[in-house]
Amino acid sequence: MIKRAYKERFYPTPEQAALLVQSFGCVRFVWNNTLAYRTEAYQQRGETVSHTAAEKRLAALKAEYPWLKDVSSVILQQTLRDQKAAFDNFFNSTLNARYPRFKRKNSRQSIRLTKAAFRYRDGEITIAKTTTPLPIRWSRPLPSEPSSITISRDRAGRYFISCLCEFTPDVLPVTPRMTGIDLGLSDLFVTSEGMKSGNPRHLKRYEAKLAYLQRRLAKKQKGSKNRAKARNKVARLHAKVADCRRDAIHKATRTLVNENQVLCVESLNIAGMVKNRSLAKAISDAGWGEFMRQLEYKADWAGRQLVKVGQWFPSSKRCHGCGHKVEKLPLSRRHWHCECCGLAIDRDINAARNIRTAGLAGIACGAIGAGAVA
């Protein structure tokens, strides 16, 4: 049994929305106040505030600010646990995480509740401090009773609930198909069989409308209701672009996992590649990081094998027919002929085939994993 989060949208009543807004504010206050206290203690006195000390200090905060008692105490304790996890990630050198940042009122808001703060009965969820269930638009039944839930509101004002449940993944039947996958910008991905997915370029599709809405937002007076309405329109368009991108990646990764037993991909340094000013927007719009994340966990659940080839492997420069490697191959050169065997080569398909060959060779040698094949 493994755990999986099921995310659904819901439409709170005015009373529920008021309680959630108050809960978001209390969580944000406790996070920011504790983070400032920890930062000040280290910078001025060289002291490190432990999680136990932060929890004891929470009682003093409730005494000083009585309105913190109007919301469930569980969500305040959970935000301290989340901050502890953020500091643990920061001090873990292998994760390369940033120092925890202060929460903003206009950004995404969320609270986490354990079983002590909500009730799940007959497919309905009721949170603490309320008497009516949340009006959730269920798209599918939950496989088990959730162990915890996370309620969030994005910048577009939409409310979501994420239920963490235990489930048993369905292992797909074994198939003889094995493929190599090359990520790109002209096409989101190209397989070793020659299939090109195309690139929908979701941000570019709405870029003109987004620029228009942002110009209108810039002209509104700060603090006015019209500015808040204009900001909401920009946020809703950004949410639409993100939803379109996520949906397309889900469909693509599901198809690849269903059809192939072994998937060979290249482990790209996406964080370093987006520093290229000429390609940063296109790479971010393609969603390579999300593509790799979904492909990895879906392959694991389905019993498929995902092999990552090292990023320095010359997949584009090497001829898949004879193995000859060219010295220079500019990005603008999409087709070329091998100097040794004379084979006409499509750059992307050639890279996918070389990635497949290298990945299968890594399996044969027992070197499976990120950067296993140099």
Instruction: Give me the pLDDT at residue 326, please.
Output: 87
Q: How far apart are CA 374 and CA 356, in angstroms?
A: 13
Beta-carbon contacts of residue 331 (< 8 Å; ≥ 6 apart): none
Give the predicted TM-score (pTM) of the model. Answer: 0.89
Residue of 170, 182, 285, 339 with catalytic role: 182
Residue of 15, 154, 266, 285 with catalytic role: 266
Rounded (10°) CA dihedral 305, 306, 312, 313: 40
Q: How far apart are CA 257 and CA 299, in angstroms?
A: 6
Instruction: Give me the pLDDT at residue 327, please.
Output: 85
Average pLDDT for the chain: 92
320-338 average pLDDT score: 86
Could you tell me the pLDDT band of residue 126, with boundaries at 50, 70 and 90? very high
Q: Does the active-site annotation cover 243?
A: no
Could you tell me the pLDDT band of residue 219, with boundaries at 50, 70 and 90? very high
Q: How far apart are CA 64 and CA 303, in angstroms?
A: 53
Instruction: Give me the pLDDT at residue 374, please.
Output: 38
Beta-carbon contacts of residue 45 (< 8 Å; ≥ 6 apart): none
pLDDT digits (tens, 9 = 90+) for 20-48: 999 999 999 999 999 999 999 999 999 99
Instruction: Give me the pLDDT at residue 312, please.
Output: 87
60-66 average pLDDT score: 95
The DSSP output letter for 99 is: P
Q: Does the active-site annotation cover 290?
A: no
188-205 average pLDDT score: 93
Q: In the predicted model, is pLDDT for residue 349 greater than 90?
A: yes
Instruction: Give me the pLDDT at residue 171, please.
Output: 93
Percent of the chain with pLDDT over 90: 80
Q: How far apart are CA 266 and CA 285, in angstroms?
A: 19
Q: Does the active-site annotation cover 182?
A: yes
